[in-house]
A and B are shown apart, each in its own frame.
Chain A
Amino acid sequence: MALSASNLKVGDARSQVLVEDLKRTQIVMYAGASGDYNPVHTDEVFVTKVAGYPSVFAHGMLSMGMTGRLLTDWVGDGRLTRYGVRFVKQVWPGDTLTATATVTSIGVTDGVPLAELDVVTVNQDGDAVVSGYATARLDP
């Protein structure tokens, strides 16, 4: 079900828990699916002993992918025309992430109703890990 422009207003917001207690195995799943096997995400020995981090950490693109779930769950499948983020903070195993999207404007471009949204995903401490925007095509 896609969103209809007539049922949406600026300031409307939606939040969703994306993951609770992120597991290292999920990071490995993302490595396998995406093809990014960087040992900083997959190899605790390398990342602690060579790279000098406290543990493996999630691909930024895993956080962006999970954040996209909130968007598509809300605006509907195949509706995004733009989606972008800044990676603000690293995501670690054990993190719980919650995303919030907020409608910032609704308009019509070339006859197509579009909603602009801001999106931010925070960890269990309330710190933003990704922050970005999306544009979605609406039904009239």
Chain B
Amino acid sequence: MAIERFPVEASHIMMFARAIGETNPIYFDEEYAKGTDVGSVVAPPTFVQASAQFDPDYFLRPKPGQPWFGSGGAPTGITREKREGEGSGAAAGGLHAEQHYVYHRHPRPGDVLTATVREGKSWTKEGKRGGRLHFSESVTEYRDQDGELVVTATGVGVRTEKVVEG
């Protein structure tokens, strides 16, 4: 997954800030922000997660004309049979185990970021209730319009390997 163009917009920052319960005017009030040492509206620390909006193929967004696994008339829009060893459909691709950010600076409205993703480390661990846990890192680098690194985001996902009984 790569994101060719992630324009950081003031209204998107405002929506994101509201969603995490923010009332800090640094996220929506340009006049207020001018008077702070930051000097402008900035993005909250976890905002780059919203780059998913600019990934044309992001699999957790319903798309016109394509099947969607959420409910419609039936509890799921996906009618195919479960494959052996497949989970219940929850969080296809596994669960989010960890998230790490390194900030070189904080994005602000007007930035146009790009994101590239590479695989990081992977490891396994025995789960408490049996079944092996597979952890894998994905490292996303967000760069600005000048090619400068802005944020490095490392996500860790975990998948469980079900024990086959009998």
Residues of A that sit less than 8 Å from B by CB: 2, 18-19, 26, 29-30, 32-40, 42-43, 45-47, 49-53, 59-62, 64-66, 68-69, 71-73, 76-78, 80-87
Contact = CB atoms under 8 A, between A and B. Distances in A.
A86 B61 contact: no
A73 to B, nearest CB: 7
A111 B96 CA distance: 36
Contacts of A72: 24, 44-45
Contacts of A64: 46, 99
Interface stretch (B83-91, B124-132, B140-148): B83-91
Interface string B67-82: 0011100011000000
A38 B62 CA distance: 9
Given A34-B52, A77-B26, A78-B42, A46 B21 contact: no
Interface of B: 12, 15-16, 18-22, 24, 26, 36-38, 42, 44-46, 49-53, 55, 58, 60-62, 69-71, 75-76, 88-91, 95-103, 105-106, 154
Contacts of B100: 82-85
A95 to B, nearest CB: 13
B71 A61 contact: no
B133 to A, nearest CB: 13
Given A62-B20, A81-B102, 4 more contacts: A33-B19, A68-B45, A72-B45, A80-B45
Nearest to A48: B75
Contacts of A66: 20-21
A62 B98 contact: no
Contacts of B55: 35
A65 B44 contact: yes
B21 A19 contact: yes
B96 A40 contact: no
A83 B88 CA distance: 32
A37 B49 CA distance: 13
Given A77-B36, A78-B106, A40 B91 contact: yes
A35 B20 contact: no
Nearest to B14: A33
Contact of B99 (A36, A69, A84): A84
B20 A30 contact: yes
A38 B58 CA distance: 11
A84 B61 CA distance: 25
